[in-house]
Chains A and B, each alone.
Chain A
């Protein structure tokens, strides 16, 4: 038991942290559909991030009435909209807006929802009752209506849309995290932690949340999927995004008048919405299976 063996042991203890995620990754890699979905999402994210490099923002805004409602061609890959603006550019930049909204609201929901859900699930008692009843009241309001009301109150713009959407999703997320935490809190290792004198805060951070991570990740991917749709819906209804800023839902809305004459205006952004949302769902399913400790073959 010399000091070098100890050193190796200590290093190993800290290094090995990756092994669990490696195993999850290995299992995920086997799910070809999930990997395909991951690739699609990655491409979309790259498009959103590097939108400016793919096509300059001005192109998305430049009107050219002579090209009004042009069909897809070599110069305009997706055609042009009612103002002659290049649809391809608008879709590319629209990706940036749509995905930013979706991911940031999902992230906000994750952070706030996890904290509330974990605290309430672990501590229980009157706090639990109070918070859950408050959330029940929130959930009673249909989410789109609520978002509309929030936007009407706060004004339009990306940030306000994000707040509105996040608020409608937090109750559901809290409920799911709470349920997971209730399960975890019954495990003996939590009792062991208490027997060792561990504070409630440390139990939540070191013992409860890491074990709820699986549920949280899966639910978050599902949230991203649905938030892409909600953001699109709100824009479609004319809330939130200020024209001429492109956003997939707004693009669909702009194109709806020309459904019969120029269906490509709805088709391209519509397809992008579907692909993004669908891929996130599939990825979420794949992650859920990969995170399941019971090895299934």
Chain B
């Protein structure tokens, strides 16, 4: 979202107020604050377009850096030095020995992530992606192992990350997690929460995501203008009851509108009962979403929520073109957004209670197509939170060369860790028991154990 976009947004909300359509929701008495107690939340940051893991966790030892720089040579000049080895932010993981002399670094635009990593509050998961079975290059090339359908396709792999099925899937593992934990919340409707419009991830058998806006709670400006007995007529209108005699879509829309009305009203009252967060957030779209998540977490007691799953999103990662110009800014946005979010959690005293992780439909080719990279498969993800086993690179990091055992061609990485192995420990940390985790991730058993992500 560029500067002008934000300015228009401000004008619009002022315009809405001027025309009598803004304002706050119906006033409610603030609910009594419960003792800050048991709380845990997962925050998925979905990076739409396929984030290039090859440009996030960079090889730092000279030999492998040279391999990487060789593969990326036609693009390197455009970074204005930002991928020179001397500019990189070297990582010192506790499990360095697992990589037998190989070293890794972050790009210079991620100082906060480097700091969080070294402080033990951040980790990485290397080469994770959708799999049906553990897959070797030989089996991949011989076609002797079942593969996730429609590899390398954006929408299908987004869906597969969230649900293990391509487009058309109806349930995501975040939604199944929400099914399992909703009973712990006084208001189950606030168990799964989205700001980015990703409905699939948080849809379970009973759970459906609540959409939060970036400017606070949505409210109907018109209701501010109505007084007296009439207000009941309008309320009745805006929370329609489904009539079983009407068409399916009629009933679906009536249910959606009524649920939206009720949830917005409760959410507005809960936010209004909170004092403002002191932590400032960056003005990026991601920053605005993470601020909305932090505000929602701050209102957890008023929302009767003790376990929550959030999803936010950031776009622009489909760097087929001009990657050197586009990606550093996006990585800087991630870095600044995560930093602000962690500071907000410090303010709330919840650093150990929230785990943030990134996901993206695929990594990208190591090969360059001129000035960008194409769709890959496995990618590297970020994990942040006081509860995570930080200063560790979980999973595996294939070498930055072509033709190795995880290269499906052009440096598209065959994942060495399945999405289920990342998801399972997140579910367990959130409070699901083993049976619930297995039910949410039915293919987990194909890969044995999940990763050990939390201390």
A and B: real partners? no
